[in-house]
Amino acid sequence: MSERWARAFLRAYRYAGAAAYPMVGGYVAWRASKGKEDRNRRRERYGVPSRERPDGPLVWFHAASVGETIAVVPLIESILGYGINIVLTTGTVTSAQVAEERLGGRIIHQYVPLDLKPAVSRFLDHWHPDLAIIAESEIWPMTILELGARRVPQILVNGRLSDRSFKSWKKRAYIAEALFENMAHVVAQSEVDGERFRALGARPVTVSGNLKVDTAPPPADETALYAIQRQIGRRPTWAAVSTHDGEEVMAAEVHAMLRSRHRSLLTIIVPRHPDRAAALVTELTALGLNVARRSTGDRITPDTDILLGDTIGEMGLYLRLTEIAFVGRSMTAQGGQNPLEPAMLDTAVLAGRNVQNFRDTYQRLIDKGGAKIVRDRDMLAGAVNFLLGNEIARHDMMLAGAATVEEMRGALARTLKALEPFIHPLIVQSRLKGAGGR
């Protein structure tokens, strides 16, 4: 593919939209509309605002889902401190709930417009952002092109490119370069990510580390936590969190393998998608296990084998109930899930081998002794059994994980430094507006 062809392709895409070019934009449009929005606010998906634009400088933040939203909260709070308005877009109901819980009325939340020219143009015509900050790996061609045409600086923060995404973009290198030349700055999570963005034509690129390291540990309702801890009592526990299809049954099989050695063992299973809970209850009870569902308020009795954490926003509670956590999407699925939250909460971390999306984080934890990779179900059972029976080894692992997180901190300060040339003019504008108002 020639550079001239790539630029012609993007010009055509800009005017014809994602419907004409599903390779680039159709998946984005499909994913965004696939039942994840609040039905009462569906018009926001088409760029129709539900709020007025405030006076003064405004930064548009975009964070696709819960993890990205949590990661940018400290960054948003820092910028709010300068008197700058922020509109935050997310793609899911749960991420909107997180934004409300952690930022409340200090920001304006909207659902992200579909990556179609009419929707994006309508959104930008209303909000007129002075700066656009996009979290992690959201690369939306129409949005990037429209912002570029309006000369709105665009910055990718906490940038990450998975093995699969990088390979895909490398096949379309000229398209990638034509898109990334619209970026004013890319702030990457790791040196590997930084090199990948440079290889795709991004300039300049700096490396900050992972913003998620600089977030607070996930919270827990103290009353609920105390009540569940009383029900569990002195029983040994371990957890399988952020699990995907197949990993829940694997965790249940591990429980069955270990309960003869640890007679009062309680296994906590927290599926990544709680809407699978009913089907999981059927699967787990078919294995002869007693299941208590958190969502229905089931009590944990001495006969309970499995606590099924089928609620949203309570990871902090579940992790505080144990000192051992297997982190899912790493055994039967690809990519892994973020191990930082368990490590922050003094938990020994176990995971399968498929952790490509968090390779740098896992490598640091493994090198320091805070995490261990397990090959299969039997190896997982052996690791859980060892940690349950060896308090010193378990606590060493817990301490190593927490220490590794502390060593990794600093991404927020480095990201703010990269943003300074773009934020400073908005600070001046905000102060001048305030002085004029007086």
Element (H, E) at 290: none
Q: 4, exposed or middle or buried, with CB in 10 Å at 0-12, 13-18, 19+?
A: exposed
- Residues 434, 83: contact at Cβ < 8 Å? yes
Q: Which residues are catalytic?
A: 68
Strand-pair category, 205-207 with 108-111: unpaired
Instruction: Give 340-345 contacts, CB < 8 A, sequence gap 24+.
Output: 340/210, 340/212, 340/213, 340/405, 341/217, 341/218, 341/315, 341/316, 342/241, 342/401, 343/370, 343/371, 343/401, 343/402, 343/404, 343/405, 344/217, 344/402, 344/405, 345/217, 345/218, 345/316, 345/319, 345/320
Say if residue 404 is exposed, middle or buried (CB neighbours under 10 Å; 0-12, 13-18, 19+).
buried
3-state secondary structure of 205: strand
Q: Report the distance separating Cα 242 and Cα 347, nearest Å.
A: 15
Query: The sheet that has 291-293: what strands, in order across it?
Result: 291-293, 306-308, 266-271, 237-243, 324-327, 348-351, 371-373
d(CA 377, CA 390): 20
User: How far from chain centre, in Å, is Cα 65?
Assistant: 6
| Selection from 294, 326, 307, 233 nearest residue 266 by Cα | 307
Q: What order of strands is seen across the sheet that includes strand 131-135?
A: 108-111, 85-90, 58-62, 131-135, 154-159, 185-188, 205-207
In angstroms, rounded to a whole number, what is the distance separating the alpha carbons of residues 435 and 438? 5
Residue 110 tokens, joined: 């909207």
Task: Say if residues 326 and 239 touch (Cβ distance below 8 Å).
Answer: yes
Cα separation, 204 vs 208, in Å, equals 13
Tell me 183's DSSP state: -
Strand, coil or helix: 148: helix
